[in-house]
A and B are shown apart, each in its own frame.
Chain A
Amino acid sequence: MRNSFMRALEVFTSDHPEIILMLGDLGFGVVDNFKKLYPTQIINAGVAEQNMTGMAAGLALSGKKVFTYSICNFTTLRPLEFLRNDVAYHDLNVTAVSVGGGLAYGALGISHHATEDLAILRAIPNMTVFAPGDTLEAYEITKCIIQENLGPVYLRIGRAGEATIHNEESISHFKLGKILQVKADQTKSVAFVSTGGMLEVASTVHDKLLELGIDSSIYSVHTIKPIDEQKIIEIFCSYDFVFSLEEHSIVGGLSSAMLECLPGRYDGRINHFHPIALPSIFTSLVGDQKYLRQRYGLSPDLIYKKVLETINLKK
């Protein structure tokens, strides 16, 4: 996903001399080509994220469109007040890019777990929040940020090596702010509503269920804020079972955003909604992303198990 972001940035910056890529002293080997192509449009701000974010605001107030780039919480939680007061209050074209959303940097420890970011960034007025589900979504979103004036943006992307889930047909329906359907279950039994890299997990679970003859739909919520309220309501209305999937704390992320859609728009049942998320804890357990997903119930086999239990219980 990181590479798709960089590739889109390299391609579309050619028509946008106002783009500035600011690094928080990270991006080894990833930004070399951009630097070669646009040597005056890339700046390493050093290990100083408050200043980087304040500078981004100053650049944007002077007509630039800025990407601040680092990993995990370093473009967001570390300089949070600079994002809120300087970038968001002034409604500026600054995108805070976080590589390694969720537990992607699992074994590095809790400082490198971005597991409350969606909740915190979503709460800031004027802020658009993206968590693309695969490499193709990351590419499309980056293109939109460059070509449109979206104001303050938080872009949470994965690290590297994620699968591409969409095909040419499904990505052709991509629209900013609109939930993208990846798989369609005509029986309307099970819906997976996923954000970020959990799309790959949803896809694996979908295929395993299919082996048992259970079809399911997959929706990718690449735009967490503003959320596609109409589609969320439609999903709640249409399916027997709705599972949300996020590599994020249960507090304030996708499942919360989905529930916020309901008051005044939905008067149906809600006991068919099953949020799958991380518990609100810090883990000092060492483990890579796969291990930690397994440990906290986000692995394909544990989700598969949970889905089967849930379906059988209701039968």
Chain B
Amino acid sequence: MQTNSEEFAAKVRRHVVDMTHRGNSSHVGSGLSIVDILSVLYNDVLNIIPKEPNFADRDRFILSKGHSGAAVYATLAERGYFPLELLKTHYQNGSNLSGHVSHKGIPGVELSTGSLGHGLSVGVGMALAAKLDSSQWRTFVLLSDGECDEGSNWEAALFAGHHLMDNLVAIVDYNKLQSLASVKETLNLEPFADKWKSFGWSVREVDGHDHKSLRACFSGLPFDDNGKPNIVIAHTTKGKGVSFMENNVLWHYRSPQGEEYRLAIEELDIDA
């Protein structure tokens, strides 16, 4: 039997395929890769009130890999931040729902991103503000693996480790595929967990599609009693949920059209 977050994820997956199909837009594989993480966060982890998107003590969520905007928009709409109908405007002329996530006119989006390597620094600033104000809210930042090529992330990692920001949670969508090739072929990140550990972070590795494991992982926050910032390395599959998109670099850019779209929806409907 599926838990609520799994039913939720099935709906979000369908939206992501629909939105990228309708918009003739890229990044469907990147979006499907993070749907389970988003579903668990937004249903079981984040302290949020969708009808009061700006309440002061909310947990903050930043999508640093802004190209997966469709997955966040769909998640927010399914959680009731704004009408589902709005998702149909994604990528359309005159809409607010740009391909890379934007906060303008969209309740629930804390930060507009798109250029990689910004979200963690901004998240560190938010976490620092919470510390300075002795507030209890937490900051979650979701990064892609390819994004970790950006040096700014390591500046942020150094600062958060030094200042013991245990109210900060980074999550890396580690699907091991970048834009053109695998992470290993592009700029190898391994030993990845060790890199974060050496920067003073507390690391957990988890199956990024197993809701039970994700819930168990996040329920252990903060992971360390000594104030270390937290990082979840989520092992994921790019294109998860549509067999012919899974682990295929083609679906970083390709948009599901025609027979491919029909087959994708058919698979998702069977799984739902």
Contact = CB atoms under 8 A, between A and B. Distances in A.
Interface string A45-87: 1101011011111111111100000000000000001100110
Interface size on A, as a range, is: 20 to 34
A55 B132 contact: no
Contacts of A56: 125
Contacts of B123: 58
Interface string B97-128: 00000010000001111110110111111111
Query: Chain B interface residue count: which class?
Result: 20 to 34
Interface string B120-145: 11111111111011000001000000
Interface in B81-104: 103
Nearest to A91: B104
Shortest Cβ-Cβ A-B pairs, 4 listed: A58-B125, A54-B121, A62-B129, A55-B125
Nearest to A59: B125
B57 to A, nearest CB: 11
A61 B158 CA distance: 21
B199 interface: no
Interface in A78-102: 81-82, 85-86, 89-90
25 contacts: A20-B132, A40-B132, A50-B121, A51-B121, A53-B121, A54-B118, A54-B124, A54-B125, A55-B121, A55-B122, A56-B125, A57-B122, A58-B121, A58-B127, A58-B139, A61-B111, A61-B126, A63-B133, A64-B129, A85-B115, A86-B111, A86-B121, A86-B122, A90-B103, A90-B111
A85 B156 CA distance: 17
Interface in A23-40: 40
Interface of B: 103, 110-115, 117-118, 120-130, 132-133, 139, 151-152, 155-156, 158-159
A74 to B, nearest CB: 13
B124 A58 contact: yes
Given A48-B155, A54-B156, A82-B118, A89 B125 contact: no
Give the one of A63, A86, A89, A90 with max B CB within 10 A: A86
Contacts of B155: 46, 48, 50-51
A59 B103 CA distance: 17
Given A51-B152, A55-B156, A56-B125, 11 more contacts: A48-B158, A50-B117, A51-B124, A54-B156, A55-B121, A58-B125, A58-B127, A58-B129, A58-B139, A90-B111, A90-B112
Most chain A beta-carbon neighbours within 10 Å: one of B111, B113, B130, B133 = B111
A140 to B, nearest CB: 28
Interface of A: 20, 40, 43, 45-46, 48, 50-51, 53-64, 81-82, 85-86, 89-90
Contacts of B132: 20, 40, 64
Residue picked from B114, B139, B155, most chain A C-beta under 10 Å: B155
